[in-house]
Every structure is written in structure tokens, then in C-alpha cells.
A and B are shown apart, each in its own frame.
Chain A
Amino acid sequence: MEPANIDRTVFPEAAALEAESPTFSARGRRRPFAVRNLAPYGYISPTLLLIFVLMVIPIAMVVSYSFQDNVIVQKNPVFAGLANYTKVLTDPVFLTAIKNTLIFITLSTIAHLVLGLAFAMMLNTGLLSGLTKAVFRIIYILPWLFTIAVVAVIWRLMLDPYGVINYILTSIGVLQSEVNWLASPSTALWALTFINIWSGYPFFMISLLAGLQGISADLYEAAAVDGANGIQRFFNVTIPQLKPVLISMAVLDLIWTSQQFALIWMTTGGGPLNVTEMLSTYTYKQAFSSYEFATASAAAVIVLLLTMIMAFFYVRQLRER
């Protein structure tokens, strides 16, 4: 027996019943039902395609390269098992690069957070006038406006043995003679880290300023009523309220800084004597200078795994929020 002809625009519940009922869907309505099921995939397909082409395929290729020998440069590469990973992990330069990268990203992230929070609190304080804060806001954000190439050129000039930094430090008596900040093995890594801190703190400052402005004044008033002084309010109100932002920013910064390449390449190139060699420059040199694409791929996969660990904590933090 045929079902009654129901006007589903008048009786929407009937339409819902039809969608759920196998009896309805089995009768000459299969095509629209299939279209309805496919439609969501259609909408996300451009994104899926882009992710597949731009991320999944390249990552899969790099992973496969890392298990082959003489890949790309030889027409018929052979399977090499874990040989490339063994080679990379026993290369003293790679181990140096890991150590340097850890120092570089840890110091950068801590300094970014401290400086960013300090400047953000200054810009959020009620002790300064609006005009003063506007002026400082512009000054503080300036490093963020320069592209990394400009940052590298500026600091190479300033840190030159005959540059302005040495001139000032020798003039005021801090230094007895000029220091080769970027060319001396004892100072290059610290100088490079300093440049990275300088160029990266404004992003933290802006993000934390937004976080500070989102903290309700009621909390500070309540703390004041309870007799909390400035330091206590900072540690018991400001920091807990900013904690989600601080953790997210810190994890993101660890990931971003570990991928820093341009600044290192344009200032020290990993030298002198490998003291500023990072995972990024090591991988690049393996690929585009030594043409050891298999080794470079193995190094890249190791970097990917390390980054994924950090990304895991980032995602977990987001979920907790």
C-alpha cells in the first residue's frame, strides 16, 4: 500500500519521519537521499583536497624518502631501512643542532613571555596617560613591523665589530675592546637569540594585552578588598586569568621558533664553528648543499616528530579550555 501523500512543508515532523524511515527512503527517493549525504563532503572537499595535496602528500613523500638511499639524485633509489636515521642521529653536527635549537627556543620563549607580559602590563596600566601609552605602543610594536630580512640586516650592521653596539658599550666603559658578536663562537648563539627575542616579543605583547584587557576589574577590586597587595594581585589574579593564553602562546612559540630559518641563515648561516647550527639550517644544508635528500628527509621527520609532541600539548591545552 502506497503511503499517504503528505505535504511536508506543512507537516515538518512528517519530513523528519520520512528521513528516518527506511520505508520512505526505499521508495523512489534514493537519489535525493544520496545527494543529501554527499553534500557535506562536497563542502569540505576543497579544504580536504588542499590539505591532501599540500600536506599529506608532501609529508608522505618526505617520510618515504627518509627510508631510501640517494633519493632524488639517483634515478633508482634503494630501500635503506633506518640507515638515514642512524646516520643523522650519530652525526655530531646534528646533535649540536639539537642542543643549540633547545637553547635557542627555550630562551626565546621565556624572554618573549616575560618581555611581552611586562610591556603588556605597562600598556594596560592606569598610571600612564592615554597619549603616553599610545606612543609606547607604537615604539614597542616596531620590531614586529620589520620583515625578517630587514631585521637580519639591521642587526648585522649594529653588531658589527665596528657597529653601533660596540661603539656604545666601549664608550661607556662596559667593554674594553670590540666584540665580534655574531662571528665569535662564544657569543654568536646568545647574540642570535637576542635578535630573535627582539623581533618576536611584540606578538606576545599584543596577545597578552588583549588577555589583560579581558580580565574583569571586579576580580582586582575583590582582591583589593581582601587586602591583597600588587604582587599578590599579580600572582593570584593576573597570572591565573592569563594562564590559558600564556600556555597556548608558549607552546606555539616553541613550535614557531624551532622552525626559525631565515634569521639564522641571514645572520650566521649556522656558524661560526657550528655554534648556531639549528635543526632547520642543518636540514637545509643536507638537502640543498650536500644534495643528501634522504638524510635531510630523515632529519625533517625527526623535527616533525618533535614538533608533533609540542603540538600535542597545544591541542590538549585547547581542549582543556
Chain B
Amino acid sequence: MTGETTRFRSRRTRLLGVVTAAILAVAAAGCGTGSGEGSAGSSAQGGAVTLEFAQWWGAELPEGSFQELMTEFESQNPNIKVKLLSAPYASTKQQLVSGAASKTLPDVVGLDGAWVNDFAKQGAITDLSALMADAKYDESQLASQIKVDGKTYMIPVVNFVYPLFVNKDLLSKAGVKAVPSTRSEFLDAAKKISALGGNVKGWALPLDTAVPNGVQNDVMSWLWASGGSMLTQDGKPNLTSPPVKSAVDYVKSLNDAGVIAPGALTMKEQDKVEKFTAGQVGMIIDSMAHINLIKKNSPDLHFTVAPIPAEDSFTGKRGIPYASWGVGIADSTQHKAEAFKLVQFLMSKEANAKLSTLANGFPGNNTAEPDFSKSDPLFKTAFDIYRKGYPANEFVGLPKSEDLMRTFAENLQLVLAGKQSVDDALNKTQQSWASVI
């Protein structure tokens, strides 16, 4: 090897190092340029706009079916492409919280009603009322809208109600002839089922504080089923009111009667469903979205769905808890008009009916008719319950709703553990909520 070659290689190696540093510096500068401008994920190439749509729905629908729906939208709107960002619910939530913080939300976002207030207050999602007005959109076809300070920020696309699931075999084995319709009947049935022994209990109450939605679905549902409210007319917390106390007293009475499956204080929603599926629990309040799951995992389980029992003297319309697949638009997107076209498509009579049918949920468009002819008959039963009552979920649209639920859950845990009275629990929770709402 000659000295010239060695020197050349040495120089080339040094040059490589310097060039690497320069390229990285330029790359870093490039990365920095985009930040802080609040640019969302959309792009426009050759006149076509590509919208990013983050949601968890694709992960829960039959494989490829949501993409097919988006292809249909693209064929109707040749200048708009949709890039789906599908992830499980929890991941989607974390991504959206991070995106909202950094002002880099995807153009269109799937929303849970519990997140809306916080995202709206951050200015992360845009006012849909203005977009609806610009597009001269007929709002009357929407079953509901989630508003903050009078402005719409989320439109529920598909709704899932939470009726009472009843194991018919356990009920008949316990000698209970009819599905309970009142609180007294429910307590009686739960006692009789629990008396069967063999690790079987009447009811399951998931009070895990990691995901505290048991408060919404399994506790407040007793209140709403009797037409009660946890808020005053002007939207302030009203937890010390007689209806709320009555509902919490009732849950405590179920606990005192020993009819609640053990492990409630750290039980998660999936544990509740598993126990019902395994025949260890006679009755649960659960999402109708789980009907197929339960039937798949336990084909021989005979169960039905029914309205949530109300107070014995109650004769009015019953509220039934629900959860929604909602849709919103990022405030930072450069393509709000195009994003709203996608929202319009999702809420159109045909697409909304199709999506509701695929999801086994109820449509967010009043005129859409889901096709339950190929679905389990229980969906039709649940649909009838939904029509006879009214959807009730007062946590939707509240600020820090998950935190509100957690505070309630922690105080209820103390009640069930015998370390606090119901009155003290409600007073403490009321004080805590009042500082937030």
C-alpha cells in the first residue's frame, strides 16, 4: 500500500465524518422546522388531499371492512384520499392526548365523549358548528351532538348501549321466573342466584381505578335507569341529591347482601364479561357490543338482555347508558372542508347504516336503518330497549371525566370496604367534582 493511498483513505474517512455531521445537522434543522406550526398529518399532492383518520374502530370491525368504506368515500370524492390510522382504544387515546398536546393531531379523529371537553378546551379539535353552517349541513338528521360551551365538537357516529345481561339458566335454576325489572326484584334475584353456591354470584361490579368506567356503566346506570341525574339543571355536580344517594345506597345494599362477585375493587370490565361468560355471575350491565364475544366464547350460555331495573315506584322513561364512536376534526388541519366531507359521509344515511350494521351498534343518523336481519336477535331486543328509553351518559362532555369517575370510584371503594359512609363519600366526591366542573 502506498503512502498516497493511505493519505487518500485517511482524508476520505475524515471527510466522511464531517459530511455525516453536516447531513445530520441539516436533518435536525429540517425536523425542527415543522414543529410548532401545528401542522396535522394531511398532505396535498397533485391536487389530491390525503386526510389522516385516527380511530380505534378499524381494529374492532371485521378486517378490511372499514377500509372498504373509506374506498367508497374516495370514489365519491376523487380529490380526497384517506389514510387510516387504526389502533386499539387505549393506544388511540394516548396518541390523541400526545397529538393534542403537540398540536399534531391527525386531520380527522375518532373520539370518545369523555375526551371531548378536554380536547376542546385545549383548542385541539375544531368547532363543528361552524363547519356545519359553512357546508349548510342539515343537523336535524343527527341523533345527538356533543357540545362544549354551546358549540359542537363531536358527532356520535355509532352508539352502543349498556343493557342488563341476564343468564337465563342461572335465573331459572335459582327459581326466579321473570327477568328483574325493579331494584327490589333485582336484589331478590341476585340473592337467590348467589345462594346457588359453587362460586356463583348475582352481580359483578368492576371498580378498578386504572380505567374507572365502571362508575359510569355499572353504578350511575342505576341512577339514570330511574330517570335521575347527577348534575343540576345548569350542569353542576349534584351528588348529594336524594336520587344519587338512593342509587349508591342500593349498590351498597347489594354489597352488604353479599351478591357482588369478589374482587370488585380491582375488577376490570373484561373480568366482568369473563365471569358472566363463564357462568360465574348471573347478571351484569354490559355493552351490547359484547353479545357476539360472549356467544363466541360460550356458545351454550343462554342469556338475554333487558332494561336496567328502576326504582320500584318509577314509571317514566328509563335512561340507558351508552358509549359512542364519535368523530371530530383537528383544529390544526389545513383541510377542514375536506375533513368535514368525510364526517358528512360517515353520517350519511347509507354509510352510517352500513357502519352501524358492521359494528352491531345503533346509528348516529336518525334516518339510518341498521340491518339486523343477519345479526343475533338480541341486537333487535337491545334496539327496542334503546327506542323505549333514552340514551343517558352524563359523563359525556364533562371536563376530566375519567378523573371524575376515579374520584367517585375511590370514595365508593371506601364505602364498600366499610371505611366510609355513603353520605361522607358523596359529600367528598361532590367537593372534588365542584372544583373541576
- Identify the A interface with B (CB < 8 A): 7-10, 32, 35-36, 38-43, 45-46, 49, 53, 72-75, 156, 160-162, 178, 180, 182-185, 188, 265-274, 281, 285, 288-291, 293
Q: Which residues of B contact A35 (CB under 8 A)?
A: 11, 14-15, 18
Q: Please report the C-alpha to C-alpha distance between residue A265 and residue B19 in the assembled complex, in whole angstroms.
A: 46
Q: Are A272 and B14 in contact (CB under 8 A)?
A: no
Q: Which residues of B contact A7 (CB under 8 A)?
A: 3
Query: A-B pairs with the 9 shortest C-beta distances?
Result: A269-B210, A9-B3, A42-B17, A272-B265, A161-B262, A39-B14, A42-B21, A39-B17, A183-B263
Q: Please report the C-alpha to C-alpha distance between residue A87 and residue B218 in the assembled complex, in whole angstroms.
A: 33
Return the CB mask of B1-43 against A: 1 if under 8 Å, else 0: 0111011000101111111110011001001000000000000
Given contacts A35-B11, A290-B403, contact A272 B20 (CB under 8 A): no
Q: Please report the C-alpha to C-alpha distance between residue A73 and residue B436 in the assembled complex, in whole angstroms.
A: 14
Q: Please report the C-alpha to C-alpha distance between residue A280 and residue B334 in the assembled complex, in whole angstroms.
A: 37
Of B118-126, B305-313, B373-381, the segment with at least 4 beta carbons within 8 Å of chain A is B118-126
Q: Are B267 and A183 in contact (CB under 8 A)?
A: yes
Using CB atoms, name the residue of chain A closest to B401.
Answer: A289
B357-407 at interface with A (beta carbon < 8 Å): 400, 402-403, 406
Smallest beta-carbon distance B259→chain A, Å: 14
Q: Please report the C-alpha to C-alpha distance between residue A53 and residue B94 in the assembled complex, in whole angstroms.
A: 21
23 chain-A/chain-B pairs, Cβ below 8 angstroms: A9-B2, A9-B3, A9-B7, A32-B11, A32-B14, A53-B28, A73-B121, A73-B122, A74-B122, A75-B122, A162-B280, A180-B263, A183-B264, A268-B266, A269-B268, A270-B209, A271-B207, A271-B413, A272-B266, A272-B413, A274-B410, A289-B406, A291-B400
Q: Are B94 and A288 in contact (CB under 8 A)?
A: yes
Q: Please report the C-alpha to C-alpha distance between residue A45 and residue B208 in the assembled complex, in whole angstroms.
A: 47
Using CB atoms, name the residue of chain B closest to A12.
Answer: B3
Q: Are B402 and A289 in contact (CB under 8 A)?
A: yes
Q: Are B18 and A183 in contact (CB under 8 A)?
A: no
Using CB atoms, name the residue of chain A closest to B280.
Answer: A162
Smallest beta-carbon distance B359→chain A, Å: 26
Using CB atoms, name the residue of chain B closest to A163.
Answer: B263
Smallest beta-carbon distance B364→chain A, Å: 26
Using CB atoms, name the residue of chain B closest to A181.
Answer: B263
Interface size range of chain B in the complex = 35 or more
Using CB atoms, name the residue of chain B closest to A42.
Answer: B17
Given contacts A72-B101, A291-B400, contact A273 B17 (CB under 8 A): no
Q: Which residues of B contact A73 (CB under 8 A)?
A: 101, 118, 121-122
* Chain A binding surface, main DSSP class: loop
Verify if B199 is at the interface (C-beta below 8 Å from A). yes
Using CB atoms, name the residue of chain B closest to A271.
Answer: B209
Smallest beta-carbon distance B33→chain A, Å: 14
Q: Are A293 and B101 in contact (CB under 8 A)?
A: yes
Q: Which residues of A contact B19 (CB under 8 A)?
A: 42
Q: Please report the C-alpha to C-alpha distance between residue A36 and residue B280 in the assembled complex, in whole angstroms.
A: 75
B121-147 at interface with A (beta carbon < 8 Å): 121-123
Verify if B97 is at the interface (C-beta below 8 Å from A). yes
Using CB atoms, name the residue of chain B closest to A264.
Answer: B210
Verify if B70 is at the interface (C-beta below 8 Å from A). no
Q: Are A271 and B15 in contact (CB under 8 A)?
A: no
Q: Please report the C-alpha to C-alpha distance between residue A94 and residue B176 in the assembled complex, in whole angstroms.
A: 48
Return the CB mask of B185-219 against A: 1 if under 8 Å, else 0: 00000000000000100000001111100000000
Q: Which residues of B contact A38 (CB under 8 A)?
A: 14, 17-18, 21
Verify if B291 is at the interface (C-beta below 8 Å from A). no
Verify if B434 is at the interface (C-beta below 8 Å from A). no
Given contacts A53-B28, A269-B208, contact A40 B17 (CB under 8 A): yes
Q: Please report the C-alpha to C-alpha distance between residue A267 and residue B209 in the assembled complex, in whole angstroms.
A: 11
Q: Are B21 and A45 in contact (CB under 8 A)?
A: yes
Q: Please report the C-alpha to C-alpha distance between residue A160 and residue B207 in the assembled complex, in whole angstroms.
A: 15
Q: Which residues of A contact B266 (CB under 8 A)?
A: 182-183, 188, 267-269, 271-272
Given contacts A35-B11, A35-B14, A273-B265, contact A45 B24 (CB under 8 A): yes
Q: Please report the C-alpha to C-alpha distance between residue A271 and residue B7 in the assembled complex, in whole angstroms.
A: 67
Smallest beta-carbon distance B20→chain A, Å: 5
Smallest beta-carbon distance A83→chain B, Å: 16
Q: Which residues of A contact B207 (CB under 8 A)?
A: 271-272
